[in-house]
């Protein structure tokens, strides 16, 4: 059986209250008794029972992290960022990944009221009525990670999808490209939507004609990128450059292009979004937008912990993470 403060009390010949105080660094204990207690504790190899502590305090030092049903590089970085920050503040991280048997909404309901976590971070690809309603219910504090920071009066951490996509287009325009196509992500993904909007707005600002069939639909997978580009690679009037809404699709384009014996960027240029691990090493290396994923997790956790600690409960903050153009050799 794991040692408890009772046993420490016995060993140190003090009351459990004193033990509790000594261990939590209460000013009022003499340094002698404190030493006594600390010695006893270390002798017994004591570790406080977190469950009991959270329980009695009526609040938990566990941070919940609700993830949608996908798994990739992006998520592990978020998890790491959150856990690292949580740890530094004395919190634990609990991952709640959604899947066929458990929806985002259900997870929200549960975590709001089962006392397990003291707060949570939730990744929302697309905010809908149901999720919003679930979040409105009173409960523990939370922070949203989302492509869109306009989602109600909630604390949100987001990347500047729109601006970065906009900048990417301007960069291409400055390089002299005039015929630009876009492969967009899933229609139910705010990051994808905002990137597309950034693309469209930048094009119209710079008087870039947007041909309808150059607005291609993808779903963020490599396959969908390949599929999309194949639709226009046969036509006479080809775009000079393709801006894919993420790197995976961009790399899908690489395949389609290179398997036709065409050269990137000479025959057709490609740019992406995300800067995943391999993009740097792709051949040619991919020009893209570096999303600072680790910072997203970190800042979301920091903001959440502020709220959990009650340090800063002021009105909802909208935190936007800067991302940067990474110019390489694909355009």
Partner DNA sequence: ATGAAAGCGCTAACAA
Partner DNA sequence: TTGTTAGCGCTTTCAT
Please choose, out of 24-32, 93-101, 121-129, 203-211, the segment that lies near a second copy by the rule CB under 8 A. 93-101
Task: Could you list the beta-strand ranges (E) of the chain.
Answer: 62-67, 92-97, 119-124, 142-146, 156-159, 180-184, 215-217, 241-244, 269-271, 288-290, 318-321, 324-326
Q: How many CA atoms lie within 13 A of 124 on its CB side?
A: 32
How many Å separate Cα 302 from the centre of its chain? Answer: 13
Pairing of strands 142-146, 119-124: parallel
23 binds DNA (CB under 7 A): yes
What's the CA gap between 326 and 309, in Å, rounded? 37
Residue position matching structure tokens 């490599």: 222
Which of 6-9's residues contact partners 24+ apart within 8 Å by CB, and which partners?
Answer: 7/44, 7/46, 8/37, 8/40, 8/41, 8/44, 8/46
Residues 107-146 within binding reach of a second copy (CB under 8 A): 109-110, 113-116, 139
Q: Rounded to the nearest whole angstrom, what is the least distance from the CB of residue 189 to a second copy in the complex?
A: 18
Please choose, out of 28-36, 101-109, 235-243, 310-318, the segment that lies near a second copy by the rule CB under 8 A. 101-109
Contacts of 320 (CB under 8 A, 6+ apart): 149, 157, 158, 159, 160
Other CB atoms within a 10 A radius of the CB of residue 179 amount to 15
Q: Rounded to the nearest whole angstrom, what is the least distance from the CB of residue 226 to a second copy in the complex?
A: 7
Single residue of 11, 21, 191, 225 touching DNA by CB under 7 A: 21
By a kind-dependent CB cut-off of 5 to 8 A, residue 33 interacts, out of DNA, a second copy, none, with: DNA
By a kind-dependent CB cut-off of 5 to 8 A, residue 6 interacts, out of DNA, a second copy, none, with: DNA
Question: Which tokens sit at 173?
Answer: 């325009």
266 binds DNA (CB under 7 A): no
167 binds a second copy (CB under 8 A): no
H/E stretch holding 85 reads: helix 73-88
Of 328, 285, 321, 331, which Cα lies nearest the Cα of 161? 321
By a kind-dependent CB cut-off of 5 to 8 A, residue 113 interacts, out of a second copy, DNA, none, with: a second copy
Q: Rounded to the nearest whole angstrom, what is the least distance from the CB of residue 224 to a second copy in the complex?
A: 11
By a kind-dependent CB cut-off of 5 to 8 A, residue 73 interacts, out of a second copy, DNA, none, with: a second copy
Residues 46-85 within binding reach of a second copy (CB under 8 A): 47-52, 54-55, 60, 62, 65, 71-73, 75-77, 79-80, 83-84
What's the CA gap between 109 and 88, in Å, rounded? 28
User: Measured from the CB atom, is 6 or 178 closer to DNA?
Assistant: 6
Please choose, out of 86-94, 119-127, 142-150, 170-178, the segment that lies near a second copy by the rule CB under 8 A. 86-94
Q: Rounded to the nearest whole angstrom, what is the least distance from the CB of residue 67 to a second copy in the complex?
A: 9
**50 cis-preceded (ω within 30 degrees of 0):** no
By a kind-dependent CB cut-off of 5 to 8 A, residue 266 interacts, out of DNA, a second copy, none, with: none
How many Å separate Cα 109 from the centre of its chain? Answer: 21
Please choose, out of 17-25, 155-163, 252-260, 322-330, the segment that lies near DNA by the rule CB under 7 A. 17-25
Q: Which residues bind a second copy (CB under 8 A)?
A: 2, 45, 47-52, 54-55, 60, 62, 65, 71-73, 75-77, 79-80, 83-84, 87-88, 92-97, 99, 101-102, 109-110, 113-116, 139, 222-223, 226, 248, 251-252, 254-255, 258-259, 277-278, 280-281, 283
């Amino acid at each position: 059986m794991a040692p408890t403060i009772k046993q420490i009390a016995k060993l140190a010949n003090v009351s459990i209250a004193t033990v509790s105080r000594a261990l939590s660094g209460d000013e009022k204990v003499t340094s002698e008794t404190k030493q006594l207690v600390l010695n006893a504790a270390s002798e017994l190899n004591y570790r406080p029972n977190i469950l009991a502590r959270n329980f009695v305090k009526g609040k938990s030092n566990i941070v919940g992290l609700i993830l949608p049903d996908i798994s990739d590089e992006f998520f592990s970085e978020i998890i790491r960022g959150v856990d690292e920050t949580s740890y530094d503040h004395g919190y634990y991280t609990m991952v709640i990944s959604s899947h066929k048997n458990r929806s985002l909404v259900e997870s929200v309901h549960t975590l709001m009221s089962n006392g397990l976590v003291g707060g949570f971070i939730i990744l929302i690809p697309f905010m809908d009525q149901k999720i919003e309603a679930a979040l409105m219910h009173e409960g523990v504090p939370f922070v949203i990670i989302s492509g869109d920071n306009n989602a109600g009066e909630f604390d949100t951490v987001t990347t500047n999808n729109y601006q970065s996509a906009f900048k990417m287009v301007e960069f291409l325009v400055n390089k002299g490209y005039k015929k630009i196509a876009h492969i967009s992500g899933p229609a139910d993904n705010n990051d994808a939507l905002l990137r597309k909007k950034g693309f469209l707005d930048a094009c119209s600002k710079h008087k870039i004609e947007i041909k309808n069939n150059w607005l291609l639909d993808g779903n963020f997978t490599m396959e969908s990128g390949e599929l999309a580009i194949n639709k226009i690679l046969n036509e006479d009037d080809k775009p000079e450059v393709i801006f894919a809404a993420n790197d995976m699709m961009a790399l899908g384009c690489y395949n389609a292009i290179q398997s036709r014996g065409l050269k990137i960027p000479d025959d057709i240029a490609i740019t992406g979004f995300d800067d995943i691990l391999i993009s740097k090493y792709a051949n040619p290396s991919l020009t893209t937008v570096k999303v600072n994923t680790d910072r997203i997790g970190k800042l979301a956790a920091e903001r959440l912990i502020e709220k959990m600690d009650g340090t800063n409960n002021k009105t909802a903050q909208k935190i936007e993470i800067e991302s940067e153009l990474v110019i390489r050799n694909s355009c």
